[in-house]
């Protein structure tokens, strides 16, 4: 009963629209002595290439037996354009600017103290 099933891959975009990607009918042979035991099979599927940023969404796998239907939790995929630049350098600029201000502040304080001491 459970040796023949359908695996469906689909994705749901940010607007909630469901798009079918692929369906695969599986017919698994059960080895002698393995009847009435839980079996696990891996069904990897790669979705390449992501066409553009509109490919962003949650991708799901669903398995249907005769009277049972199971759906995976889904995997969220964020597709970025080829011109995307990571802005992680903002922290580096902020730290450099802070250090520069600290050095200038210490230098100005030292010069003021030196000038005050020289005039006494």
pLDDT tens per residue, range 1-16: 678 888 888 888 778 8
User: Which residues contact residue 25 at a Cβ distance below 8 angstroms, ignoring those fewer than 6 apart?
Assistant: 4, 5, 6, 7
pLDDT tens per residue, range 41-85: 777 766 666 666 677 788 898 989 888 898 889 888 877 766 666
Q: How far apart are CA 89 and CA 106, in angstroms?
A: 26
State which H helix or E strand residue 104 sits in: helix 89-119
Per-residue confidence band for 104, with pLDDT thresholds at 50, 70 and 90: very high
Residue extents of the structural domains in the chain: 4-77, 86-119
């Amino acid at each position: 009963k459970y040796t023949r099933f359908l695996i469906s891959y689909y994705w749901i975009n940010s607007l909630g629209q469901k798009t079918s990607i692929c369906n695969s009918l599986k017919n698994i042979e059960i080895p002698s002595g393995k009847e009435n035991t839980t079996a696990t099979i891996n069904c990897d599927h790669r979705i390449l290439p992501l066409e553009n940023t509109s490919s962003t969404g949650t991708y799901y796998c669903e398995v249907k037996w005769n009277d049972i239907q199971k759906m995976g939790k889904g995997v969220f995929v964020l597709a970025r354009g080829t011109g995307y630049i990571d802005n992680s350098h903002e922290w580096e600029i902020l730290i450099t600017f802070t250090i520069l201000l600290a050095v200038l502040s210490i230098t100005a304080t030292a010069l003021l103290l030196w000038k005050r001491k020289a005039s006494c």
